[in-house]
Structure 1
Amino acid sequence: MRSVTFKWIMLTSSLVISTIVVMQLYWLNKQYNLEEKEFTTNVVKSIKAFYVDVNYNTQKNLQTLIELPDKNTFLFKVDSATSATTLEDSIALELSTQNVFTDCKVALYHPLQNAYVYEVYMPTAASHYPINEGNELPIFKRNYTYGMLNFPHRNKYILGQMSWWIFSSIVLILVLVCFAISLFYLYKQKFQNEIQNDFIRNVTHEFQTPLTTLTVGLDIIAKPTIVDHPEKLAKYTKLMQGQTEYLKQHIDNLMKVLKTEAVGLVLEKKEVQPHQLIKNAIAQLYTVIDEKNATIQYFFEPTETTILADYNNLFVAILNLISNAIKYATKPVVIIETSVQNNVYSISIKDNGIGIDKHFQKKLFKKFYRVPTGDVHNVKGLGLGLYFVKKVIDAHGGNIKLNSIVGIGTEFVIELPKN
């Protein structure tokens, strides 16, 4: 299964997991609201039963007798002759009957005094909360006598009633999160395995062709009769030189990347003249240039400025960019320009090659990445050249820009600080 297919499976699984988690949280919230309503209903039933106990006239609608200034507090009209003992005993009994087992503050308010003439804190054995009367009860000024029920631990009590729901939801969410993390690491491992396998196949393919060419060339020039055909000898010698240089470039890139991954990119900066460095890179590519019949044009800034840089690493970076510019064109025309502006030294390498689609440009500097063209083996290289180029430019505190149009060509612009 390729990474693309597995990525879609990962995305679908993530969406399903997210949906399950959201739905579970939704049902938890809904269950909490239901528990809240049930709690309120049970307290109202307890107050209604209290009215029956004390023979209070309840001909009026209960909504006119009971008031909820907040979710934790219930006010209910009582007869001014109602005793505190009757209120406490009856309320305690009725709350127990309605299965409301949480601490409750009971108070009796008298309008003439505008104060509570009686207060008591009623803990329950099932509440498990410390016996504490808590903060002073707020006074709600009314022109009638009322009883007050205040439940300071109402939220904790409701959550306690939902303990199984909460526990099962936490377990489910943890299982889903662990499953999602496992999928992520599985995908990461699979992706790395595919990259490794592709890399091995690419190395085998890239090295096999030049080695075969070298073997054939050596077999031919080893024949005694080759001395009678100097033009053939020159042809095969040149061909083998080109393939040797091709192999050397790949091995250099591979070794430099491996070293960079192991110990980081160590720079040995010194004064470097970019013009001479570029000319040396072009000279090293002479066999490729000749083989592809490439045209190299360069327009250097006139002052021949020097910059502080690591010659060897910058040389390999420029060599890779010029090599790519030649590689991906039928009749290569490579234009190299340099300029200096605001203490920034710019090197532009422009080609007339096949171009790079915008869809692939963001991934171009990633390790082992090669722009696909159908069959993976149709794409030349190991996917290390541009990765190393980016590492070198970043290490110099510079920047590399890419401009490309499919079918027209590509331009890489390197910007390096002068000092």
Structure 2
Amino acid sequence: MAIVALGGLLTVQLLWLNKAFKSEEKEFNLSVQVALSNAVQQLLGKAQGAAPSKPIRQIASSSFLAEVNAPVRAQELDTLLKYEFARRHITIPYEYGILKAEDDTLVFGNYVPATIKEKKLHPDQAVLTPNVPAGHYNFVVVFPSKTTYIFSEMQLWVFSTVALLVVVVFFGYTLYSILQEKRLTELKADFINNMTHELQTPITNIAIASEILKNADTPLPLAKTKRYHDIIFQENERLKEQVERVLQIAELEKKKMALTKTKTNVHQLLEESLRRLSLRLQKRAGQVTCHLQATQAVIQADNLHLTNALFNLLDNAEKYSPQVPEIKISTRNYHQGILISIADKGSGIRQEVQSRIFDTFYRVPTGNIHNVRGFGLGLSYVKTVIQAHQGTIQIKSQENQGSCFELYLPFSA
């Protein structure tokens, strides 16, 4: 309702502004035509010529042609124009030219700056300007700043319109902020639901395995004991990983991520991230192809954050590959830095949502099917880390055809 009301109010205001402008323009044109008509009559009176039925014609928005078809002296015309315009408070600069009546050839022209409203010239006050040869002439007057002058005469209208536009702009900004807050609230609600589920699962598994070991009446076989110990250990590691991801929110909320930069070998970080992922890849018979062609792989970077960022991308490549994971990693030197490419043949990302995948808490909607759990923090964290190193990240992806993330990191940021 507010949008409709403001839209209607702005429309009415613009219509009235347009109407007021046309009214002011009409009044200005009429004043100019009357002034020029008086000038023509005085010129014809001295030349004893007959005035045409329509001596003044408006040939353009700011141009007026006066048909005299009689001798015209430049001195006399200059003084008459100044006098007639001053009488009608037309105080803006103008240009006039004297034209041959038979072929409209310009024989004389002059520019007259803006005059003072209180200053009224008398026709007898001649201005020294060159005379033109004897003959029959017309003259044309042009007002270059006519539109600006009309708007200056409409100060109240212009001020009210600008004030209304400011109100509309701030209303639009407020509405945008409200919608953004609403969207962020919904995303945070989804994040809390996902976080509760993700944290509850390993806690429940640890509790069950611990209870079995605690309440066993007789010593369990070594194989079973080891199995329950492994469950506790694996679920504890999983819980630590989930808590670490939640703690990444604090880093994302900071205006500036604090980095501890040291000489870091990007190839070693990639190998370390692959080692962390190796067990999961082995279970799914995943394939990883590496083309590490960068001859200079050492950059100034924060080892921990950059490792986490690379692992997040490799982790996504494995998780979002419904079939056997096929991951391709390549590096090369580019523009005083290193370009890292991580590609997969997984489910891919639709074109219309690619611009939002780096937003905090955002997860690509998949309807009611959630095969892969997550908090929507991974890619947002990755982008924050890369930008903190003054690098860039881009995605190339098609649905059901995989994704390719390209990271550029300068040698020294």
TM class by smaller structure: 0.5 to 0.7
Aligned-residue offset at 1:233: 5.8
Q: How does 1:17-416 map to 2 (within 5 A)?
A: 26-43=18-35, 60-63=51-54, 100=88, 129-131=117-119, 136=127, 141=132, 143=134, 159=150, 163=153, 166-223=155-212, 224-225=215-216, 228=220, 238=230, 241-259=233-251, 261-262=253-254, 264-285=256-277, 288-289=280-281, 293=284, 295-299=286-290, 301=292, 306-308=297-299, 309-341=301-333, 344-374=337-367, 380-416=373-409
Look up the equivalent residue of 1:313 and give its one-letter code: H
Look up the equivalent residue of 1:406 and give its one-letter code: E
Aligned-residue offset at 1:323: 1.2
**Deviations 1:44-74 (Å, cap 9, x if unpaired)?**
67679989xx99988642546x799996997
Contact 1:400 1:412 in 2 (8 A): yes
**Deviations 1:122-154 (Å, cap 9, x if unpaired)?**
xxxxx98353769957566475899x9x999x9
More divergent stretch after superposition (268-277 vs 382-391)? 268-277
Aligned-residue offset at 1:392: 2.2
For 2:380 and 2:234, the matched residues in 1 are separated by 24
For 1:135 and 1:14, the matched residues in 2 are separated by 56
Look up the equivalent residue of 2:169 and give its one-letter code: A
Look up the equivalent residue of 1:129 and give its one-letter code: K
For 2:303 and 2:32, the matched residues in 1 are separated by 80
For 2:245 and 2:18, the matched residues in 1 are separated by 55
More divergent stretch after superposition (14-23 vs 359-368)? 14-23
**Deviations 1:317-374 (Å, cap 9, x if unpaired)?**
1110111112112234142434444665444333231011222223332333322223
For 2:228 and 2:131, the matched residues in 1 are separated by 105
**Deviations 1:16-70 (Å, cap 9, x if unpaired)?**
898777756654543343123321344367679989xx99988642546x79999
For 2:349 and 2:245, the matched residues in 1 are separated by 22
For 2:148 and 2:329, the matched residues in 1 are separated by 76
Sort the Cα spacing of 1:170 and 1:326 in 2 relative to 1 into closer, same or farther, 3 A: same
For 1:368 and 1:319, the matched residues in 2 are separated by 18
Sort the Cα spacing of 1:192 and 1:30 in 2 relative to 1 into closer, same or farther, 3 A: same
Look up the equivalent residue of 1:177 and give its one-letter code: V
Sort the Cα spacing of 1:255 and 1:418 in 2 relative to 1 into closer, same or farther, 3 A: same
Return 5+ residue gaps in structure 1 as ranges. Answer: 1-5, 105-126
For 2:126 and 2:273, the matched residues in 1 are separated by 83
Give the total of aligned pairs: 372
Aligned-residue offset at 1:243: 4.8
CA RMSD of superposed structures (Å): 5.3
More divergent stretch after superposition (372-381 vs 165-174)? 372-381
Contact 2:10 2:164 in 1 (8 A): no
Q: Secondary structure at the match of 1:228?
A: coil
Look up the equivalent residue of 1:307 and give its one-letter code: V
For 1:376 and 1:129, the matched residues in 2 are separated by 78
Sort the Cα spacing of 1:293 and 1:265 in 2 relative to 1 into closer, same or farther, 3 A: same
Sort the Cα spacing of 1:213 and 1:102 in 2 relative to 1 into closer, same or farther, 3 A: closer
For 1:41 and 1:315, the matched residues in 2 are separated by 79
Look up the equivalent residue of 1:333 and give its one-letter code: P
Q: Secondary structure at the match of 2:376?
A: coil
**Deviations 1:81-104 (Å, cap 9, x if unpaired)?**
xxx9xx99xx99xx98xxx46679
Aligned-residue offset at 1:285: 4.0
**Deviations 1:210-267 (Å, cap 9, x if unpaired)?**
3144224413431323963766665565555555444433443443452354252233
Contact 1:325 1:351 in 2 (8 A): yes
Sort the Cα spacing of 1:37 and 1:191 in 2 relative to 1 into closer, same or farther, 3 A: same
For 2:127 and 2:234, the matched residues in 1 are separated by 93
Return 5+ residue gaps in structure 2 as ranges. Answer: 93-114
Match of 2:98 in 1: none
More divergent stretch after superposition (341-350 vs 133-142)? 133-142
Look up the equivalent residue of 1:266 and give its one-letter code: A
Look up the equivalent residue of 2:52 and give its one-letter code: N
Q: Secondary structure at the match of 2:117?
A: coil
Sort the Cα spacing of 1:68 and 1:59 in 2 relative to 1 into closer, same or farther, 3 A: same
Contact 2:391 2:409 in 1 (8 A): yes
Sort the Cα spacing of 1:311 and 1:288 in 2 relative to 1 into closer, same or farther, 3 A: same
**Deviations 1:256-285 (Å, cap 9, x if unpaired)?**
452354252233233334444334323434
Q: Secondary structure at the match of 2:403?
A: strand
